[in-house]
Structure formats: C-alpha cells, structure tokens
Amino acid sequence: MAQKRTRTPGTPSTGPFPIDTGTASFDPVPGAPGSFVLTVNGVPSSPYSAADPRRLDFEYMRWAVAGIDTALPGSTLRALHVGGAACALPRRIAADRPGSRQTVVEIDAALVTWVRAHLELPRSPAVAVRAADGAAEIAAFRDDSLDLLVRDAFAGDATPAALQSPEWFSSVARVLRAEGLYASNVADRAGRSALREELRALTGHFAHVCALSGGRLAGRPGGNVMVFASHRPLDPRELTRRARAEGCAVPVAHSRTELLSACGLPL
C-alpha cells in the first residue's frame, strides 16, 4: 500500500501523482535545497523554488524575463500565461513587479488543483489560475487589454495545434495593447519547422520579431527558442545584455532578418 504523503507548511508534497492528461511528478533538485522540478507526462515542465520566487532554473524562462524587461521595462503588467505548470514565470513577475495582475490558464484541471493545494502562489488577482483551454479562453479577453501574453503550453513536447492556428495568432494580436509583448516558447527541431511556422504567422501580425536561444540556429539539431513579437522595436543587443544579467551562459539574440533567413522565409 502506498504511503500517504502529508504536507507541512511551506514544504511542497513530492513524488508522482495522477492528473487529467496522465501523470505528473514533483521532485527535488539534487544539491539544491528547496528547489524542485514539476514533470508532466515525462517532460520537465516547470522549476519551483519554495523560498525564492525569483529563481528560475530553466534557462528559457530567464530568456523570457530578459525579453519582458527589454520590451516592458519598469512597470506593473496585465499578463496572460497560456500553460501554467508550477507557475514559475508568474511567480517571478509577481516578485519583480508588485501590483501586476496575471491570469494563468492551464488545460489540466487536476494539475491546477494540485498546484493550488501544494505550492505557494501569490493570491488572486496577483496570480489567478484557471483550468481552461487557452485557445478558447483568449476569446474572453477584451481588445487591447494585455501588456504581456506568454505561450508556454505543450502536449508532450510539441505545441498544441490550436495554439499555432491562424485564429490563435489573430486573437493574440487583438488582445495585446499597442506597446504589448507576445512571448512564445518554441521547442524546435532540426529543419526549423516549428520555428518557421511561428515566424510565418507572427510576421503577418507584428512589425517586430526577435528571439533568444542558447546558440546559433544554423546546424543545430533543435532546442528551445524564446520568440518575442511586438509592434515596437526590440533590441537584440539589449536582449543579450539582459539575458547575461540573468545568468544565461551563452545567450544568442536573433534579429527578425536572421530568423527569417535561418528558416528560409522571405526577408
């Protein structure tokens, strides 16, 4: 018979547990007391630091912070996160920018219930977590109502098709304010197919697109790429500087021209 786990205040419950889409596991990081990783259906999905909400052990999330701070410096934010997991990035934003209002949409209701029960999250409206389909939920947001929209949602290791559709990108452009920022985590593979489709869609709606990755795109077998889109210019040099300040080892910022060229799209 499995031993029942109990939770003491401030100590998350660890180990595997069932969720609506399969199985998740919340496990301590060896050699890093108080740090954990939430794994969903075999894919590491979110870091979590019990004591320090500013700590982000996943590098692509630190790239996201660099992009947000470059495009939206020094202000509170109205943000939507599609894909929640352990809410690492929303916790960081809440710590950096008190007074921000963030909505986190996670499709797995059982996972949302577990996260609410076991992890320390800022209270709503600082961080409001909903169990819903992000592709449908975005319709509830008014035009020009968001400063930031983050897409970090996966089915396994791929972005769901509904979050890459023409309707999705039209909705993104509709809900973002003129100075707003879209940030998407693209899990790319050799051949740049996922990145190519992301760029093809974004360049139809936004004047400025750039990205951060852990290396050059040419010749790579794949890996995460954090893509940013805005109606305002995005400075690759400033992106690199801020990523390095976040402790990213070898961040490479890619301009719109470099991205399109690497993906074989018209410049």
Strand order across the beta sheet in which 15-19 lies: 15-19, 22-28, 35-40, 43-49
Q: Distance between CA 190 and CA 172 in Å, rounded?
A: 27
Structure confidence by residue, pLDDT tens digits, 74-125 = 889 999 999 989 999 999 999 999 999 999 999 999 999 999 999 999 999 9
Q: Check residue 10 and give its pLDDT.
A: 60
Domain 54-262 has CATH 3.30.300.30: no
Domain spans in the chain, listed from the N-terminal domain onward: 54-262
Phi, psi of 2 (to 5 degrees): -65, 140
Please compute, for residue 189, the number of CA atoms within 13 A of its CA located in the half-sphere on the CB side. Answer: 5
Q: For 4-36, how does the pLDDT look when each residue is reduced to its tens digit (9 = 90+)?
A: 343 444 678 888 999 999 999 999 999 999 999
With H, G, I as helix, E, B as strand and everything else as coil, classify residue 66: helix
Q: In sequence order, which residues have a C-beta less than 8 Å from that of residue 252 and are 6 or more positions away?
A: 212, 213, 214, 215, 216, 240
Mean pLDDT, range 230-253, rounded to an integer: 94
What does the pLDDT look like over 128-183, one tens digit per residue?
Answer: 999 999 999 999 999 999 999 999 999 887 899 999 999 999 999 999 999 999 99
